[in-house]
Structure 1
Amino acid sequence: MTLLKRILSAAFVALFATPGLAAEPSVVRIGVAQQGTGDPPTFGGSPAATAQLQHRVEDALQPAHVKVEWIFFKGAGPAVNEALANKQVDFAYQGDLPSVLGRANGLKTHLLLASNVRTGVYLAVPADSDIKSVKDLKGKRVGLFRGTNLQLVADNVLKENNLAERDLRIINLDTAAALAAVASKGVDAVFSDYSLFKLQQQGLARIVYASRDDGVQFTRQAHLLVLDEFESAHPAIVQTVVTSVVQAAQWQSDEANRAALFALWAKSGVPVESWQSEFKPGQLKERSSPLIDPFLRARYQAVADDALRLNLIRQPVSVDGWFEPKYLDQALKTLKLESYWPRFDASGKPLAS
């Protein structure tokens, strides 16, 4: 057992020796807001995915005889919210908009760390389409996965181009259906994620727009959250899970691990070439950061404000008190990573060290 594992194991045992805390569960359930691929199912593109593929959470909880289940949801964020409401999962890897919708509807959760930030949205069209930009979408059939963090970025992109969803013929499609629709010319265009690179490489689609090119206000964020009730009963498990994901974030932030990282993520069914297109050289550290900094807080508040403006929620949502950084802070201290990742201000500019 490594020194770090011995430290985590000792801390875990010490916390559970504290009077008044509930006995540890036999299984920890982590919901994932996307469809997994393979047997067992896997995913890619984030520190949470890296942690799952490297079995970091499982290894860290093994001394306490706690098993880990990763539960994947084809219905993405909305389906995860339903599972959280029914207490079918304890933790969740999810995007910003779905979590805001959940909070607006009374879900009691805490956001623990960032897990895949500054992620863009792509607009793709059939390979022979004459659509060249977002401005050409008026009146077109456009696939969009509603209720996910794709939707809000797409809506803001449309607004930037003097359009709105009502100006298009929006068809609600999950990721797999969107890819099939654009490849078969069943729609005129789709807003989706890095999955589109594979279609482009196969000559079945053409990416005509990348939202990240227009600034951080057109990016989406994802995170790991926990149900308040589970956190209150099992803080040691929460700490262990957070520390394990931070370890994965550090490993995938190292550009020296780029080839190994993309090969690992390729087990999710997304080819290495797509990950190379999604993560340009030098971007790993910035986009793998787990930090709860002013940038992350500001982006989540902006998502909440936009969701209200677009009538996706009926009442304002504040991020005050939603983030719980103590587990992340402890992980950074334990792993001696307090200064490893750069912090950014609300506008996305680096903060002075």
Structure 2
Amino acid sequence: MKLTNISRLAAGVVFVLGMFAASAHAEEPLVIHVGYAAIGVDNRPYSEGTSAATARAGEYLEKEFANDPNIKVEWTFFKGAGPAVNEGFANNQLDFAYQGDLPALIGRATGLKTKYLLASGARKPLYLAVAKDSNIRKIEDLKGRKVALQRGTNGHLAAIKILQAHGLTERDLQVINLDSAGTVAALASKDIDAAFGDTDLINLAAKGSADIVYTTKGDDPRFGRNAGIIGREAFIDAHPDITQRVVDAFVKAAQWSSDESNRSALLELWHKAGTPIPVLDEFFRNDKLAYRNSPLIDDLLVSLYKEQAVKSKEYGLIRREVDLNGWFEPKYLNNSLERLGLQKFWQPYGADGKPVAS
């Protein structure tokens, strides 16, 4: 065989192999990595209290892509909460995530390329629980005491704002950095005097092992916590159509979570995370589901994030100014609201906290 024929044969083999490789590569599934800045009881891969938790427990994203065999959805729940989510984004291991305001702002300040796509878990209350038989009756009584909170989370920032409103700072306390599970154990054993948190503390009090002495419910709404669905900018730019469908799925979950006729079913769904239903019922008592589960990026939400950015730097939680220009990306949310006929489903609020007229 002549050399030229051998060369042609070799070239043909390379071409065929290349075609097979290209075909195999084309059939590789696209995995959408979704993170959640919390984890269920005993490390269950679920959470509660937000429309994002509904999306997970109700498999809204999985159903959205059920007819797309080349698209897969993988969820990761983080015991390390918001700071761990930032690590996931920094290492390109996450495409979307549910995350609280403070860690999202820290990520923005440190250069993470993300976009805020819709609210989820907005206006969540914070609770202060104290050890059983404690003489702590009010916020001012925390001075000099051992108080647990999870640093770098939206609960951390909310706690500082509450302390400031009552004439205290973090330095006036012995702050112990603990996650939810560690907080419950330490408070039950009285290794700490008090703790800031939410459903875990309500549950501990219901068992008679602690007492709730304060909640932001009924107090200044700016003491509450906010969160949302954050997307990795590179993924959004590369897959705008898929991003739209992801947002569609989260909006559908928010709609179902906001319907009062679904309240009992909603609490049952969230119970997959291991939180008792009576505790979830207490967590949402006197709150309209649509108020807590709204996905809207309204003036109130934006103003709260801007305030949190300023406060975070003021309290030394962030070292540099946080530029929020261009971070909020309502395009996909607005498309979903229009496509699903939900433009008037949720009540928008102004920066003053008052409802905005339609």
How far did residue 213 of structure 1 move?
2.4
Tell me which residue corresponds to 2:4: none
User: Superposed, which structure 2 residues align to 1:162-241 within 5 Å?
Assistant: 162-241=167-246
C-alpha contact 1:33 1:75 (8 A) present in aligned 2: yes
Tell me which residue corresponds to 2:357: 352
Question: Cα deviations across residues 28-66 of structure 1 (Å, max 9, x unaligned)?
Answer: 110110123479611111111101111110011122221
Tell me which residue corresponds to 2:61: 57
Amino acid of the structure 1 residue aligned with 2:233: D
RMSD of equivalent CA atoms: 1.5
SS of 2:85's equivalent in the other structure is helix
Which protein is bigger by CA-based radius of gyration? 2
Amino acid of the structure 2 residue aligned with 1:60: E
Tell me which residue corresponds to 1:127: 132
Alpha carbons of 1:162 and 1:276: their partners in 2 closer, same or farther (altered >3 Å)? Answer: same
Question: Cα deviations across residues 148-176 of structure 1 (Å, max 9, x unaligned)?
Answer: 00011100100001000000000101111
Tell me which residue corresponds to 1:337: 342
How far, CA to CA, are the matches of 1:116 and 1:262 in structure 2?
A: 15
SS of 2:168's equivalent in the other structure is coil
List alignment gaps of at least 5 residues for structure 2: 1-25
SS of 1:195's equivalent in the other structure is helix
How far, CA to CA, are the matches of 2:184 and 2:43 in structure 1?
A: 22
Alpha carbons of 1:282 and 1:34: their partners in 2 closer, same or farther (altered >3 Å)? Answer: closer
Alpha carbons of 1:234 and 1:40: their partners in 2 closer, same or farther (altered >3 Å)? Answer: farther
How far, CA to CA, are the matches of 2:290 and 2:169 in structure 1?
A: 34
C-alpha contact 1:38 1:267 (8 A) present in aligned 2: no
How far, CA to CA, are the matches of 2:327 and 2:193 in structure 1?
A: 39
List alignment gaps of at least 5 residues for structure 1: 1-21
How far, CA to CA, are the matches of 1:216 and 1:176 in structure 2?
A: 27
How far, CA to CA, are the matches of 2:179 and 2:222 in structure 1?
A: 24
Alpha carbons of 1:310 and 1:262: their partners in 2 closer, same or farther (altered >3 Å)? Answer: same
Answering whether residue 318 of structure 2 is matched by residue 313 of structure 1, we say yes
How far, CA to CA, are the matches of 2:92 and 2:160 in structure 1?
A: 31
Tell me which residue corresponds to 1:258: 263
C-alpha contact 1:110 1:322 (8 A) present in aligned 2: yes
Greater shift after overlay, 34-43 or 153-162? Answer: 34-43
Answering whether residue 43 of structure 2 is matched by residue 43 of structure 1, we say no
How far did residue 280 of structure 1 move?
1.7
SS of 2:237's equivalent in the other structure is helix
Tell me which residue corresponds to 1:301: 306
Answering whether residue 245 of structure 2 is matched by residue 244 of structure 1, we say no
Tell me which residue corresponds to 1:158: 163
How far, CA to CA, are the matches of 1:306 and 1:134 in structure 2?
A: 20
How far did residue 289 of structure 1 move?
0.3
How far, CA to CA, are the matches of 1:307 and 1:320 in structure 2?
A: 17
How far, CA to CA, are the matches of 2:73 and 2:157 in structure 1?
A: 32
C-alpha contact 2:109 2:323 (8 A) present in aligned 1: no
Tell me which residue corresponds to 2:119: 114
SS of 2:129's equivalent in the other structure is strand
Over the matched positions of the two proteins, sequence identity in percent amounts to 48
How far did residue 212 of structure 1 move?
3.0
C-alpha contact 2:115 2:328 (8 A) present in aligned 1: yes
Q: TM-score, normalised by structure 1?
A: 0.91
Answering whether residue 36 of structure 2 is matched by residue 32 of structure 1, we say yes
Amino acid of the structure 1 residue aligned with 2:261: A
C-alpha contact 1:118 1:212 (8 A) present in aligned 2: no
How far, CA to CA, are the matches of 1:201 and 1:282 in structure 2?
A: 20
Answering whether residue 152 of structure 2 is matched by residue 147 of structure 1, we say yes
Amino acid of the structure 1 residue aligned with 2:105: V
User: Superposed, which structure 2 residues align to 1:85-100 within 5 Å?
Assistant: 85-100=90-105
Greater shift after overlay, 119-128 or 91-100? Answer: 119-128
Amino acid of the structure 2 residue aligned with 1:340: F
SS of 2:229's equivalent in the other structure is strand
Question: Cα deviations across residues 297-348 of structure 1 (Å, max 9, x unaligned)?
Answer: 0011011000110111121113221011110001001110000100000121
How far, CA to CA, are the matches of 1:337 and 1:285 in structure 2?
A: 12
SS of 2:217's equivalent in the other structure is helix
C-alpha contact 1:24 1:234 (8 A) present in aligned 2: no
Q: TM-score, normalised by structure 2?
A: 0.90
How far did residue 116 of structure 1 move?
1.0
Tell me which residue corresponds to 2:21: none
How far, CA to CA, are the matches of 1:133 and 1:282 in structure 2?
A: 24
Greater shift after overlay, 256-265 or 311-320? Answer: 311-320
Q: Aligned pair count? A: 332
